[in-house]
Amino acid sequence: MNERCPICGYLMNAAARDFNICPCCGTEFGYDDRRRSHVELRNRWISNGARWFSRATAPPVRWSAWAQLIDAGYVEAVPFRVVSVSAHAPTFREFSFMPERIAVS
Protein backbone atom coordinates (compact mmCIF):
# COMPACT_ATOMS: atom_id res chain seq x y z
CA MET A 1 0.00 0.00 0.00
CA ASN A 2 1.41 3.38 -0.98
CA GLU A 3 -0.04 6.50 0.58
CA ARG A 4 1.19 10.05 0.14
CA CYS A 5 2.51 11.81 3.19
CA PRO A 6 0.12 14.71 3.86
CA ILE A 7 3.10 16.85 4.85
CA CYS A 8 5.65 16.40 2.04
CA GLY A 9 3.87 14.28 -0.57
CA TYR A 10 6.27 11.32 -0.38
CA LEU A 11 4.74 7.96 -1.34
CA MET A 12 5.09 6.01 1.90
CA ASN A 13 4.82 2.24 2.32
CA ALA A 14 2.67 2.70 5.44
CA ALA A 15 -0.38 4.83 6.12
CA ALA A 16 -0.01 8.24 7.77
CA ARG A 17 -1.35 7.14 11.13
CA ASP A 18 -0.19 6.82 14.73
CA PHE A 19 3.51 6.19 15.23
CA ASN A 20 4.39 5.81 11.54
CA ILE A 21 7.21 8.13 10.52
CA CYS A 22 7.64 9.57 7.03
CA PRO A 23 11.23 8.85 5.91
CA CYS A 24 11.24 12.02 3.83
CA CYS A 25 10.08 14.78 6.18
CA GLY A 26 10.39 12.91 9.48
CA THR A 27 6.85 13.57 10.65
CA GLU A 28 5.71 11.08 13.28
CA PHE A 29 1.97 10.79 12.82
CA GLY A 30 -0.07 10.86 15.98
CA TYR A 31 2.67 12.84 17.70
CA ASP A 32 3.95 15.70 15.51
CA ASP A 33 0.52 16.35 14.00
CA ARG A 34 -1.24 16.23 17.33
CA ARG A 35 -0.72 19.93 18.05
CA ARG A 36 0.25 21.26 14.62
CA SER A 37 -1.67 21.19 11.37
CA HIS A 38 -0.28 19.48 8.29
CA VAL A 39 0.19 22.90 6.68
CA GLU A 40 2.20 24.11 9.69
CA LEU A 41 4.36 20.98 9.61
CA ARG A 42 4.88 21.32 5.83
CA ASN A 43 5.91 24.97 6.17
CA ARG A 44 8.29 24.08 8.99
CA TRP A 45 9.90 21.27 6.93
CA ILE A 46 10.31 23.64 3.97
CA SER A 47 11.69 26.49 6.09
CA ASN A 48 14.29 24.05 7.46
CA GLY A 49 15.49 23.31 3.93
CA ALA A 50 13.12 20.47 2.90
CA ARG A 51 15.89 17.96 3.52
CA TRP A 52 15.55 14.17 3.40
CA PHE A 53 15.08 12.99 6.99
CA SER A 54 15.86 9.28 7.19
CA ARG A 55 19.37 7.92 7.54
CA ALA A 56 18.08 4.34 7.20
CA THR A 57 16.04 4.86 4.02
CA ALA A 58 17.80 6.53 1.10
CA PRO A 59 15.89 9.05 -1.02
CA PRO A 60 14.81 7.95 -4.49
CA VAL A 61 17.32 8.48 -7.29
CA ARG A 62 17.29 12.13 -8.44
CA TRP A 63 14.89 13.00 -5.62
CA SER A 64 13.69 16.60 -5.48
CA ALA A 65 11.61 17.91 -2.61
CA TRP A 66 10.17 20.59 -4.89
CA ALA A 67 9.11 18.20 -7.66
CA GLN A 68 7.63 15.89 -5.02
CA LEU A 69 5.56 18.70 -3.50
CA ILE A 70 4.34 19.81 -6.92
CA ASP A 71 3.49 16.23 -7.93
CA ALA A 72 1.50 15.84 -4.69
CA GLY A 73 -0.50 18.99 -5.45
CA TYR A 74 1.22 21.27 -2.92
CA VAL A 75 2.35 23.80 -5.54
CA GLU A 76 1.53 26.76 -3.31
CA ALA A 77 4.05 25.52 -0.74
CA VAL A 78 7.00 25.54 -3.16
CA PRO A 79 9.17 28.64 -2.70
CA PHE A 80 10.33 28.46 -6.31
CA ARG A 81 8.89 29.11 -9.71
CA VAL A 82 9.15 26.30 -12.23
CA VAL A 83 11.03 27.53 -15.29
CA SER A 84 11.01 24.46 -17.48
CA VAL A 85 8.80 21.39 -17.32
CA SER A 86 8.96 18.41 -19.65
CA ALA A 87 5.75 18.13 -21.67
CA HIS A 88 5.98 14.31 -21.76
CA ALA A 89 6.98 13.46 -18.20
CA PRO A 90 6.43 14.98 -14.76
CA THR A 91 10.16 15.62 -14.39
CA PHE A 92 10.95 19.15 -13.35
CA ARG A 93 14.21 20.14 -14.97
CA GLU A 94 15.00 23.61 -13.75
CA PHE A 95 14.00 25.78 -10.85
CA SER A 96 14.57 29.47 -10.40
CA PHE A 97 14.76 30.89 -6.88
CA MET A 98 12.21 33.54 -6.15
CA PRO A 99 12.40 35.70 -3.01
CA GLU A 100 8.65 35.34 -2.47
CA ARG A 101 6.37 32.38 -2.99
CA ILE A 102 4.72 32.52 -6.39
CA ALA A 103 1.75 30.41 -7.40
CA VAL A 104 2.41 28.33 -10.51
CA SER A 105 -0.50 28.21 -12.89
How much is the pTM? 0.75
Task: Inform me whether the pLDDT recorded for 92 exceeds 90.
Answer: no
Average pLDDT on 39-67 reads 96
Q: For position 104, what pLDDT does the model report?
A: 44
**93: nearest Cα among 69, 59, 67:** 67
Task: Inform me whether the pLDDT recorded for 42 exceeds 60.
Answer: yes
pLDDT tens profile 1-33: 689 999 999 999 989 998 999 999 999 999 999
Task: Inform me whether the pLDDT recorded for 102 exceeds 80.
Answer: no
DSSP 3-state assignment of 42? Answer: helix
